[in-house]
Amino acid sequence: MKTRVATTWLGGCSGCHMSILDMDERLFNLADKIELVYGPLTDVKEFPENVDITLVEGSVDNVDNEEKICHVRGRTKILVSLGDCAVTGNVPSMRNQFTKDSVLQRAYVEQATLDKGIPDRMVPLLLPVVRPVHSVVKVDLFVPGCPPSADVIHFALTELLEGRMPNLTSLTRFGK
């Protein structure tokens, strides 16, 4: 039976997903061992139950992200914070030095050229501060990097698939 794997992202740029794709032909070898049950490369609309491993990139910066990561954690055995945004908040958390209201004012009023005004629907409500994933839910593995390299992601996944928690200390550092 194949290991059920999912990927998702919250507040981030999707660079970590690009690194996953950079595994190139190694993806074919992984495909023999995993079933990709959710992610941007699937047409699945609802996060499934009984996921063995979920790779999550991005920070928790709005109420939708917060709800999503709680839902994902509840359905995942091993949750991996993938990349510096998920691990530390990284670039998205730079807004933490400002108030939520001042960020919205700057983005939707001061910098807008059309339809100036802070949206009250269709845009998820910002949280007061941007948070790394582990400040909201339990994380089982941290894979730093901006983004982590394909080699590091491949190593982490293959170790997890073999039932081992990978030791990434010699392979990663923040921003690499």
Domain annotation covers residue 40: yes
CA distance 56 to 64: 14
Whether residue 80 lies inside any domain: the answer is yes
- What's the rounded Cα separation, in Å, for the pair 129 and 135? 11
The pLDDT value recorded for residue 41 is: 83
CB 31 within 8 A of CB 161: no
Q: Map residue 171 onto helix, strand or coil.
A: coil
Q: Where are the beta strands (DSSP E) in the chain?
A: 3-9, 34-38, 51-57, 60-62, 76-82, 126-131, 141-143
Question: pLDDT per residue over 26-65, tens digit each?
Answer: 999 999 999 999 998 888 999 999 999 999 999 999 999 9
> In Å, how far from its chain's centre is CA 103?
22
Please indicate, yes or no, if residue 19 is contained in any of the structural domains.
yes
For 85, the domain range is 3-93+129-161
Tell me if 175 is assigned to some domain: no
For residue 169, the model assigns a pLDDT of 87
Domain contains 60? yes
Nearest alpha-carbon partner for 156 in 100, 94, 68, 83: 83
C-alpha 84/C-alpha 76 separation (Å) is 21
Residue 167 forms part of a structural domain: no
Is 67 a domain residue?
A: yes
- Whichever domain contains 84, its CATH number is 3.40.50.700
Domain count for the chain: 1
Question: Which letter does DSSP use for residue 113 in this model?
Answer: S
pTM to 2 decimals?
A: 0.93
pLDDT of residue 172: 79
Q: Is residue 98 part of a domain?
A: no
Q: Are strands 60-62 and 126-131 parallel, antiparallel or unpaired?
A: antiparallel
Instruction: Kindly give the parts of the chain with pLDDT less than 50.
Output: none
Residue 4 is predicted with a pLDDT of 98
